[in-house]
């Protein structure tokens, strides 16, 4: 079972448009899928679930869609509080949170505080997030530490960088799922995905089912994760 599952929830708008609906209806339906995946991770005791909710590039979308996404996020933070507590989920939000509307930030802070002591799956929402931006911010923090004398240059290694990321203290991503069929990582958790197994499906996020999620987990379980090495039994083939 993977410790950390990350999901790019793609295909909401396309799913809606193919059915003659406005794009925003796809985002609305996608909330049901979020609920299903959270329940599955709780049941399976997966340590971290990271969902790519809004990239730093998504601000380029039509203002009407952005406004709807912000309102939908706020509604989620309010309406799912009881379920978050019931499932013992610990909410975390990563990204440039300060750029979100004030009312969204207020509801987010309330839900974060409410779930702060929960011990179950960490539900990590990437909002206004970009992987390159995260690494750049980590580099700035490390440089500041060197300048202040708190950090020696020869102490800067992979662990040091990991400790300065938004995901400090968490296991790296074991399984990255992308719905909607696109074959790219889209600036998502670039450092943390280094050894992740990738599972892409043509199924769009609003229709992604528990069966689809289980298929991804089964696919992960069947893979041989060598992290750059080889099995001892294969040495004779070198």
- Where are the extended beta strands (E) located within 86-196? 90-94, 122-129, 175-178
- Rounded to whole angstroms, the Cα distance separating 84 from 75 reads 14
81 assigned ligand-binding residue: no
- Under DSSP, is residue 4 helix (H, G, I), strand (E, B) or coil? strand
56 assigned ligand-binding residue: yes
10 has catalytic annotation? yes
96 assigned ligand-binding residue: no
Residue 49: DSSP 8-state = E
224 has catalytic annotation? no
28 assigned ligand-binding residue: no
Q: Based on DSSP, count helices (H) and strands (E) in the chain, helices before strands.
A: 8, 6
- Rounded to whole angstroms, the Cα distance separating 57 from 44 reads 33
Query: H or E stretch including 203?
Result: none
185 assigned ligand-binding residue: yes
Order of strands, sheet of 4-8, starting from the edge strand that comes earlier in the sequence = 90-94, 122-129, 48-55, 4-8, 175-178, 197-200
10 assigned ligand-binding residue: yes
99 Cβ contact partners less than 8 Å away, ≥ 6 residues apart = 128
* Catalytic position from the list 58, 118, 133, 187: 58
27 assigned ligand-binding residue: yes
13 assigned ligand-binding residue: yes
- Across-strand partners of 8? 52, 178
197 assigned ligand-binding residue: yes
104 assigned ligand-binding residue: no
182 assigned ligand-binding residue: no
55 assigned ligand-binding residue: yes
207 Cβ contact partners less than 8 Å away, ≥ 6 residues apart = 15, 33
* Catalytic position from the list 10, 128, 174, 212: 10
Residue list, annotated binding site for Mg(2+) = 10, 197
Residue list, annotated binding site for substrate = 11-15, 23, 27, 55-57, 59, 61, 178, 184-186
Q: Which residues are catalytic?
A: 10, 58
Residue list, annotated binding site = 10-15, 23, 27, 55-57, 59, 61, 178, 184-186, 197
């Amino acid at each position: 079972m993977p410790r950390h599952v990350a999901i790019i929830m793609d295909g909401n708008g396309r799913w809606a448009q193919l059915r003659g609906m406005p794009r925003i209806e796809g985002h609305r339906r996608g909330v049901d899928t979020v609920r299903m995946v959270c329940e599955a991770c709780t049941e399976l005791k997966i340590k971290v679930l990271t969902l790519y909710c809004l990239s730093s590039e998504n601000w380029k979308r039509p203002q009407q869609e952005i406004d709807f996404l912000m309102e939908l996020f706020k509604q989620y933070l309010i309406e799912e509080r009881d379920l978050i507590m019931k499932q013992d989920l610990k909410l975390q939000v990563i990204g440039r949170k300060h750029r979100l509307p004030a009312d969204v930030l207020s509801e987010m802070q309330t839900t974060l505080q409410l779930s702060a002591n929960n011990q179950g799956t960490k539900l990590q929402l990437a909002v206004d997030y970009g992987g390159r931006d995260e690494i750049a911010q980590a580099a700035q923090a490390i440089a500041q530490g060197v300048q202040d004398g708190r950090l020696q240059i020869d102490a800067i290694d992979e662990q040091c960088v990991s400790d300065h990321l938004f995901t400090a203290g968490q296991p790296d991503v074991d399984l990255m799922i992308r719905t909607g069929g696109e074959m790219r990582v889209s600036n998502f958790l670039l450092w943390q995905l280094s050894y992740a197994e990738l599972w892409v499906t043509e199924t769009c996020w609003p229709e992604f089912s528990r069966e689809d999620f289980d298929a991804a987990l089964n696919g992960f379980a069947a893979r041989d994760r060598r992290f750059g090495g080889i099995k001892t039994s294969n040495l004779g083939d070198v």
